[in-house]
A = this chain, B = another copy of it.
């Protein structure tokens, strides 16, 4: 077995012109956000190795030799949730020497936003994953706590001037749902009238004409977001 590894490593090194330069394991860790029951949730999984075996951690994985960082993050998402084309944005790369007890590992954190209705619930059970409310997060070991805090800060920033919230909702949604997404991410309550007034000024939010009765007795209008119109207006305004 070690002979094999040696050979592989020898070939890898011979390919590069940087022979002699130290090499590192590279991983990605994903902070996966979703919205359900009027709250923001994060997907965590049970750690399978010591130390802290059985405790909850972020979903991660090593980057493959023929895989970009972004591809690795998308692969982790696909493996664990069955979803492709999930919204992902890089948060930060963590490179402290002793950050991983198993060896020298550099890890890039990504946050993901997904429509929870579309994920594969059997797959996450198979991987020992569970959704945890953002308000009831457990203590996360290593630098995973820092990763989550940074991811949330970045998301709070982004939601202020980009329509990332759309990634957490179905293509048709009520304004109350949308407001709950904003409140859950920002951690504050918003004024309903001011919230709706601002949306009305954005032409890429459009009533579909359909109604939803699943959340209230009086039906709520369903809205959709026109990405194409958003892009055109955005670039026009520059």
Binding site for B on A (CB under 8 A): 1-2, 5-6, 8-10, 12-26, 49, 62-70, 72, 90, 92-97, 102-106, 108
Contact = CB atoms under 8 A, between A and B. Distances in A.
A62 B5 contact: no
14 contacts: A2-B14, A2-B19, A5-B20, A9-B13, A12-B22, A16-B25, A17-B102, A22-B63, A23-B23, A23-B24, A23-B26, A69-B94, A70-B95, A93-B93
Given A5-B13, A26-B95, A95-B108, 6 more contacts: A2-B19, A9-B9, A12-B22, A16-B103, A63-B95, A90-B92
A157 to B, nearest CB: 8
Nearest to A93: B93
A104 B5 contact: no
Nearest to A109: B93
Nearest to A22: B65
A104 B16 contact: yes
B10 A6 contact: yes
B12 A2 contact: no
